[in-house]
Chain A
């Protein structure tokens, strides 16, 4: 187990009457690519700014490699930030921007020059070193911002939605680039984003946040396959949520009665007792439609809609008048194509695909 880089203990932040963060407690290991994921206003940027030192906590403790950093201003914390708008100094060249932190740390001129050369080639900006930020494209500015923040070899690098200003293709390139830089430097990355694809593709672990609280922390697989609650299940990817009650909790899987009367087996992350009410979550791509009743976990309904989406076919299956499920088939076979709306269909649910959520 590697060392703990950042430790948060019951961190709380209030802005007047508004509580932006409450009871945030978790640890980030050294060398980890850790992502804070959530919709805007969930508190992820506030948390980042607390770690950077731009804001002070209302309560709780933040430790960096075991030491409390609450009392330190940003310039005394060995933590650097890549800003959402890059915040490159417009009056300085690329070289001077990258060397700024080092000069402020009191490095000698020649040491700064050596390190800047290293960083410039690391982010592949050799021909642009003498330019001003305004003479660079968005992607190049992004690289300068990264190089500037990594030059002083911070213990932790904070990235505040750094890819949001780039267009799609560049964004995808930069994801790989970020991952490469993190591997090469071994710096702990804390990455803030509202883009689930970004989070899933880069992170070692992800903290899903909502309404100032951490909803779940886990690997990409954990949060997608085993969501903690309805928010996580709905925010990461698509899902179908059906109200249900547990009618038998004796076996290792729960037997749930859905709101329409159908019975399913589902699993939960937690110890659940009989009579517990909640929701069953099933991902659209974990269900298969068929005309004959399949074995195992299944439901029956009427096909009410079919949409062709290129890679996928998307179907709407009505279980009752006001309960409809969304089912996706990858476009590999023509099974789906043969279905016509209005027909009765059966839905087969993959093993382990039904998750019982309490809230």
Chain B
């Protein structure tokens, strides 16, 4: 390491780092801490209690939250599954399909939705649905979620597939495997860390989406984010903080799981490696 370019030597590096971390995490920490507050007020501290967590499941809003959570979960599972299948097919087509006209344009088109402002996608989707007469409801939310989840599922799968040498497929093909057998017995297992990461990412993105969902959900259908928003409009109550904290925990759990899946899976054997030990 060249000491001259070591960032840590710059003046103010450490305070700046602390400031950034504080801005990023302070709100989350405050919400988490106050979710354990025994008070009805969201500002004054009156000791630790789990009453607001209990309130989510038993309080007057519990029925609404239960329904919304169920909607969110089913939509997230279905949207992430469908998006992952489509993204896997797209990645195989893009990376193993050889060169074809418009390949870089296709790649741009797949990743563009990540960069388009979400509100634009939301308005466009709503206009499109009403133009074709698609009834707004759970199904319209699901379709919209599948679409915007695809690029998020695509990125890790694409990255993984890029690192897999094409000779594995050739070897399997040479050893009498048909196209499907190559996919099931060789490609899927080797790609699986990427596929699982892609699925988890898509799942979280879907679970957490508010803007697009709010536009296309139709009357009476709520997901957890829209239900929380509806609830907050009538004033912030501590039970919302408890609910947010639960969602945060779920996200942390999934991200951690996705990280360990990526770590634990064996990496492809580096080609032409030098022997480490000799028999």
Interface residues of A (CB under 8 A from B): 52-54, 73-75, 79-81, 83-91, 100-101, 104-105, 128, 132-134, 137-141, 148-149, 152, 164-167, 170
Contacts and interface: CB of A to CB of B under 8 A. Distances in A.
Interface of B, secondary structure class, is loop
For the complex of A and B, list the 8 residue pairs with the smallest distance between their C-beta atoms, beginning with the closest: A101-B175, A137-B275, A85-B271, A138-B275, A87-B167, A87-B171, A104-B176, A91-B189
Contacts of A140: 275, 279
Contacts of B165: 85, 87
Interface of B: 165, 167-168, 170-178, 181, 185-186, 189-190, 266-269, 271-279
Contact of B176 (A54, A75, A138): A75
B174 A80 contact: yes
A172 to B, nearest CB: 14
A149 B174 CA distance: 9
Nearest to B278: A137
Contact of A85 (B176, B185, B272, B278): B272
B274 A134 contact: no
A81 B269 contact: no
Residue of A75, A83, A105 with most chain B CB atoms under a 10 A cut-off: A75
Nearest to B169: A87
A81 B278 CA distance: 24
19 contacts: A73-B173, A75-B178, A81-B170, A81-B171, A87-B170, A89-B172, A89-B189, A90-B268, A90-B269, A91-B190, A104-B177, A104-B178, A128-B279, A137-B275, A137-B277, A139-B279, A140-B279, A148-B175, A164-B272
Nearest to B168: A87
A138 B175 contact: no
Contact of B185 (A100, A105, A141, A167): A100
Given A89-B186, A137-B277, A139-B275, A75 B269 contact: no
B264 to A, nearest CB: 12
Contact of A90 (B175, B176, B190, B275): B190
Contact of B175 (A132, A133, A152): A152
Contacts of B190: 89-91
Residue of B175, B178, B271 with most chain A CB atoms under a 10 A cut-off: B175
B99 to A, nearest CB: 11
A133 B279 contact: no
A132 B266 contact: yes
Given A87-B168, A165-B271, 14 more contacts: A54-B174, A75-B173, A81-B170, A85-B271, A89-B168, A90-B266, A133-B269, A134-B266, A137-B275, A140-B275, A166-B275, A167-B274, A167-B275, A170-B278
B121 to A, nearest CB: 38
Nearest to A143: B279
Given A87-B165, A101-B175, A137 B170 contact: no
A90 B273 CA distance: 14
Given A90-B190, A100-B172, A137-B279, A83 B273 contact: no
Contact of A80 (B175, B178, B271): B175
Contacts of A170: 275, 278
A74 B267 contact: no
A305 B273 CA distance: 42
Given A87-B165, A167-B274, A134 B175 contact: no
Contacts of A84: 272
B272 to A, nearest CB: 4
Nearest to A127: B279
A149 B278 CA distance: 22
A90 B267 contact: yes
Given A85-B167, A87-B168, A91-B189, A165 B174 contact: no
Nearest to B271: A85
Contacts of A152: 175-176
A164 B271 CA distance: 12
Residue of A79, A91, A128, A152 with most chain B CB atoms under a 10 A cut-off: A91
Contacts of A53: 174
Contacts of B167: 83, 85, 87
A146 to B, nearest CB: 13
B278 A75 contact: no
A187 to B, nearest CB: 15
A83 B275 CA distance: 17
A52 B173 CA distance: 10
Contacts of B175: 75, 80, 100-101, 104, 148-149, 152
B266 A89 contact: no
B177 to A, nearest CB: 5
B170 A83 contact: yes
Residue of B165, B267, B273 with most chain A CB atoms under a 10 A cut-off: B273
Residue of B190, B267, B268 with most chain A CB atoms under a 10 A cut-off: B268
A54 B170 contact: yes
A85 B279 CA distance: 19
Contact of B171 (A79, A83, A105): A83
A138 B273 contact: yes
A75 B275 contact: no
A163 B271 CA distance: 13
Given A87-B171, A101-B176, A139 B278 contact: yes
Given A87-B165, A90-B190, A138 B170 contact: no
A89 B276 contact: no
A254 B249 CA distance: 91
A313 B200 CA distance: 69
